[in-house]
Structure 1
Amino acid sequence: MGKWQLVKLKFGRSNVHFGELGIGIEESKERVRSDTLFSAWVSNYARLFGKKSVEELLEKFRQPKPPMRISSTFIYREPKSETSTKNDTIFYLPRPLKFPINYPHGGDLDSKKDDLAFFKTYKSLNYLPLNIWQRWYQGEGFTKEDAEELTDKTKGKLKEAGTFDYKEAFKNHKLPKIAIDRTTRATNFYHTGYVQFDWEQNSSGIKSLSGLYFLVYFEDNNPPLMSELKAALNLLGEQGIGGERSSGAGLFQSEWLDLKNASSTSSWENVVKPLDKSAYQCLISLFWDDDESILKQLITDNSHSNYEIQERGGWFSDGNIRRQMVRMFVEGSVFPIEPPGKLADVTPSEFKAHKIYRSGIGLSLPIKVQI
C-alpha cells in the first residue's frame, strides 16, 4: 500500500524567480512544475550521496513502478489572524479541464446573458480551493448557488472559501540589474521579475503566510529512501530553487505532513482515495510517455479526454547547453485512466558525461465529470 504525504515549501522573505520557456527574464511564474522540482531535487541528491547512488536512484525511476511520484507545486495560503488554526489553510488545486457534474448549460440558466457572465468567471478560475475542488469534482457537484455566486463574486460559500483570492497569496515585482561585458566592460541595464509570497513578522520570527506545496506518493514504505530524499530536499532549500539563486532567490524551508495524521490536511485523506470505476483522472503533475498503447488508451480511443500540451525545454547548467525539447501534458488534463508516465531522455547529442532526464512521471487524482 502506497503512502501519501504533503510537503510545504516556506519561502519567508525570500523572493523567487521561476522562469518558463518563452516568458523572458522580466517575468516570473508563481509556482514550479513537477519536472523542474524533480530535476532540482535529484541534483541535490547527487550532491549529498554521489554519482553511484543517484544513478541507482534514477534506474529505480525508470521502472514501471517508480519509488515516488510527485505533483507540481501549487499555492497554499494561511490567514493572518493570530487566532486562526492550521485548519484554515487554503490549498489550491488546478481546475480540471472538464465541467463538474451538474454544471448548467445554456437553457438550464435563466438567460443567455447570465450564461455568458457565469462562464467567463468560471473559465478564469485556473485554481480552486481544496474544499470547492472536492465538492465540485468528487462530491455533490455544481449547484445553482454556485452559478449565482460566480456571477456576483462578493458573497457566499465560494467567496468564503477563497475562490477569488488566489492572487492575494503573492506579489509580482521587478528589480533592476546591470550586466557588465567581460571583454568591453560595456554595461547593459535590465529588469528581472520576482515573486514574493505573503509573510509576517511575529514574536517567533518570520512566518510564511503563503507559499508552495506539493503532494508525494511513495509506492512502498521505504524509510531509508524517504530519509535520503528529505535530506536532499533540505539541501535544495538551502541552495534555492529556480533562477537568480546567486542573488539569494528561491530559499525555503520544507515541512512534511502525513495526510492521515496531520490535522491541517484532514480533508486530503478523502481527496486521494479512489472513487468508483467510472471515475476519471485529473493530472496534478506534468505527464509524458512514449508508449503508444498507453497514449492510445488516453487520447485516441476515448473522445472524452480533455488535455493541454506544453513544450518543455531549457538550459543544462553543466556546459551551458540546451536540453532536448519534449511536449508534455499539463496539470488539469483529464483522462479515463491513470496516466503512468516515465522519465524522458533529453540528453543533448553533444553531451557525453552522463544522461539527462526530464520527469514525465504522472500523478493524478480521481474525479467525477460531466460527460
Structure 2
Amino acid sequence: MKTYLFRLTFPVGAHFGRQGIGLEETQETVSSDSLWSALINAFALMGEAGDVLHEMDGESPPFVLSSLFPFGPDPDDQRKRLYAVPRPMTSPAVHDAALLQRAGKELKKIRYLEPHHVLTWLAQKPMSAQDLETVQQCARRLARPWSSEAPEGWFQTSLRPRVALDRSSQNSSIWWCGVLHFRHDAGLYGLVRVRDDPWKSRFEAALRLLGDMGLGGERTYGLGTFGVDGFVPLEKEWPELRQAQKTTRRLLLSRYFPNPQELPELGGVLEAWDFEESRGYVVTGRYATSLKRKRLIFLREGSVATRALLGRLVDVTPDHGPALGLSHRVYRNGMGFWFP
C-alpha cells in the first residue's frame, strides 16, 4: 500500500457542523469517519458500496483515510504551500524541565504543527528555548482566519440568515448558519493509504463524485461542493519525510475505535489520548433520514501511541431501523491512520 496526499478546494464555501446548540458553529476540519461515510454514499451511487464494505471489514482494508485538515499559502512566500498537522498530545522533550514549565501554557495553545516539527516532537529529541520559539512561530502561520488585520489568513467564517416556518401557524422565525469560506489557494487536505489499482482509481472516482455531491451540511444551498487537486505520493509533497528522524511513536490523524483484539493492550500502547463523541442522522445515498444512528466514542486526532493500531468498522444501525424502512446496515469507520 502507498500513501497519497489529496487537496480539496471549496469554491462556494462549506458547513462542517460542531457539537452544540444551533448551526452557528462550523469547524475547519472533517473527521475521517464522516469523510468515509460520505464516500460510501458516493460508492453506493456507483453501485459499489457492497463490494467496498465487504473488503473493508477485514484485517487488510483496501484504503485507510486520515481526517481532513487545512492547507494554505505561506505568509512569507505565497508560492509555498503549508500543511497543518494536529499537534501531538504528548509534551515535547526539552533540555531543561523548567523551560517546559515556562512555555507549557503557550505550547498547549498550539493546534497545528508543520510535518517536520511533528516528527521532531514524536522523536523526543530534546529542544532548546530557541527550538521551542521556532516551533511556536511556525505554528502561528498555520490555519489562521483572515481579517483586515490578517489578510494572509486561510479562511473566514460568516453567518448566513435562514428562515424557519412553524408547521401549524406558519409563523416565521430567523436563525443563522455558519459558513466557512476558504481563500482561492487554500482548503482541506487528506491522506489515504490505498492499494494499487484498481482500488486507487476507484477511490479517486468516488472522491470526485463526492465533490459534485457535496460534503458537510447545508448541501441543499450548494455548500460543500469541492474540486480535487494534487493526488500525489506523500513523499513528493513532504520531501522532509525522507530525512526525518526515526521514531517508534505514532500520531493519530483519524478517529479510532479499537477492535476486540486490541482492547487488552491499549493501556500499554497509548501514551496520550482524548475522546470525542460521534452522533447524528442516517444519510443513505443522496437522501437524509430522520433516523438517529447509535452514538460512538472515538479516540480523536492528536492521540499518540507507541505503535500503529488497526481499529475497525462499527455497526451503528438504529435498533428499529429495518422496521422504519431502512433497507441496509449503517457503519462508521474507526480504522486508525497513523503518522509517520
TM above 0.5: yes
- 2:279 is aligned with 1:313: yes
Is the contact between residue 286 and residue 362 of structure 1 (CA under 8 Å) also seen in structure 2?
Answer: yes
- Tell me which amino acid in the other structure corresponds to 2:208: N
Native 8 Å contact 2:116 2:241 kept in 1: no
Q: Distance in 2 between matches of 1:80 and 1:101?
A: 28
Greater displacement, 161-170 / 92-101: 161-170
CA contact (8 A) 1:132 1:158 kept: no
Q: CA deviation at 1:310?
A: 1.0
Partner of 1:344: 314
Shift of 1:129: 1.8
Once the two structures are superposed, residues 78-132 of structure 1 have per-residue CA deviations (whole angstroms, 9 ceiling, x without a partner) of 1478x854xx2111111111122336423xx3xxxx934x211100002112232
What whole-Å deviation, never above 9, does each CA across 1:266-289 have from its counterpart, x for those lacking one?
Answer: 235566x9x35xx12210000002
Q: CA separation of 1:104/1:180 partners in 2, compared to 1, >3 Å: closer, same or farther?
A: farther
- The 8 Å contact of residues 89 and 273 in structure 2, kept in 1 or not, is answered as yes
Deviation at 1:144, TM superposition (A): 2.0
- Aligned equivalent of 1:294: 262
Query: Alpha carbons of 1:270 and 1:227: their partners in 2 closer, same or farther (altered >3 Å)?
Result: farther
What TM-score results when the alignment is normalised by the length of structure 1?
0.81
**Amino acid corresponding to residue 5 of structure 2 in structure 1:** L
Q: Does 1:216 align with 2:202?
A: no
- The 5 A counterparts of 1:246-285 are 246-259=220-233, 262=236, 264-268=237-241, 275=246, 279-285=248-254
Shift of 1:45: 1.1
Cα 1:260–1:349 shift into 2, 3 Å = closer
1:46 is matched with which residue: 18, 33, 44? 44
User: Per the alignment, do residues 146 and 319 of structure 1 end up closer, same or farther by CA in structure 2, a change over 3 Å counting?
Assistant: same
Corresponding residue SS for 2:339: strand
Q: 2:161 is matched by which residue type in structure 1?
A: P
With over 3 angstroms needed to count, the CA separation of the structure-2 counterparts of 1:178 and 1:73, relative to structure 1, is same
1:96 partner amino acid: P
Contact 2:317 2:329 in 1 (8 A): yes
**Structure 2 counterparts to residues 53-92 of structure 1, below 5 A:** 53-79=48-74, 84-85=78-79, 88-92=80-84
User: Structure 2 CA distance, aligned partners of 1:103 and 1:92?
Assistant: 26
Change in CA separation of 1:290 and 1:84 when aligned onto 2, cut-off 3 Å: closer
Is the alpha carbon distance of 1:248 and 1:63 closer, same or farther for their aligned partners in structure 2, counting shifts above 3 Å?
A: same
Identity, in percent, stands at: 28
Structure 2: runs of 5+ lacking an equivalent: 145-152
Distance 1:261 1:99, change over 3 A: closer
Of 166, 175, 191, the match for 2:143? 166
Q: CA deviation at 1:237?
A: 0.7
Moved more, 177-186 or 228-237: 177-186
Give, in angstroms, the shift of residue 169 of structure 1: 1.7
Displacement, 1:165?
A: 4.1
Change (3 A) 1:20 1:298: same
Task: Indicate how the Cα distance of structure 1 residues 123 and 269 shifts in structure 2: closer, same or farther if over 3 A, else same.
Answer: same
Distance 1:33 1:259 in 2: 21
User: 1: distance between equivalents of 2:229 and 2:240?
Assistant: 18
When residues 213 and 141 of structure 1 are mapped into structure 2, their CA distance, relative to the original with a 3 A threshold, is farther
**Structure 1 runs of 4+ with >3 Å offset:** 138-141, 161-165, 268-271
1:16–1:195: 8 Å Cα contact kept in structure 2? yes
- Sort the Cα spacing of 1:260 and 1:351 in 2 relative to 1 into closer, same or farther, 3 A: closer
Q: Unaligned stretches of 5+ in structure 1?
A: 150-155, 200-208, 367-371
Residues 353-362 or 22-31, more deviating:
22-31
Report the CA distance between 1:42 and its aligned residue: 1.1
Could you say what secondary structure the match of 2:84 adopts?
Answer: strand
> What amino acid is the match of 1:347?
T
TM-fit CA distance, 1:296: 2.0
Distance 2:42 2:57 in 1: 19
Contact 1:21 1:314 (C-alpha < 8 Å) held by counterparts:
no
In the other structure, the counterpart of 1:35 is 33
Q: Is the 8 A contact 1:74 1:93 kept in 2?
A: yes
Measured against aligned partners, the alpha-carbon deviations of 1:14-70 in whole angstroms (never above 9, x if no partner) come to 21110133353111111100000000011011112x2xx311210110001111011
Task: Report whether the alignment pairs 1:130 with 2:115.
Answer: yes
Give the Cα–Cα distance (whole angstroms) in 2 for the partners of residues 93 and 163 of structure 1.
Answer: 13
The residue type paired with residue 309 of structure 2 is: P
